[in-house]
Amino acid sequence: MDRTSLPTGGVPPCAGRPFVLLIFGAPGSGKTTLARGLAAELRLPCLHRDDFWIGLLGTHLNPQAATSAPPSSQATTSAFIDTLVSMLSGGVSCIGDDNISVRDAAHLERLLAVSRVLLIHTSAANSEERYERRLRTDPVAS
């Protein structure tokens, strides 16, 4: 395989700017499921905003941390967007799973400054039920 080809299922090489597929929707609507499937099929790195919250939570709950308060939505979104911008600025196309940042024009403008952005909205008739089930089975989610 030469440097310009990818195995079947990968993203074909393309000239120009990197891209981000930013998946958003209500909790339980299938964002993470779709993001994981696309990442596997396209062989792209995938970032989940929820993972940033969990990472920040681990930092805040550390006994040496200055505060034991849970991370704010703003802090989580900032860390998520900063990481996406860093990857995209380095030329790395990726997938982002989020339900907050697409509502903020400033976040989208930052992404558009360094990449092409494709927004994908998910919805599911039973999203509330799926979300409630996740809260019951995942102690970190609650």
Whole-model pTM: value is 0.76
Per-residue pLDDT tens for 59-87? 766 666 556 677 788 889 999 999 999 99
Find the largest Cα–Cα distance for the chain: 51
Identify the weakest region by mean pLDDT among 1-5, 20-24, 49-53.
Answer: 1-5
pLDDT at residue 54 greater than cutoff 60: yes
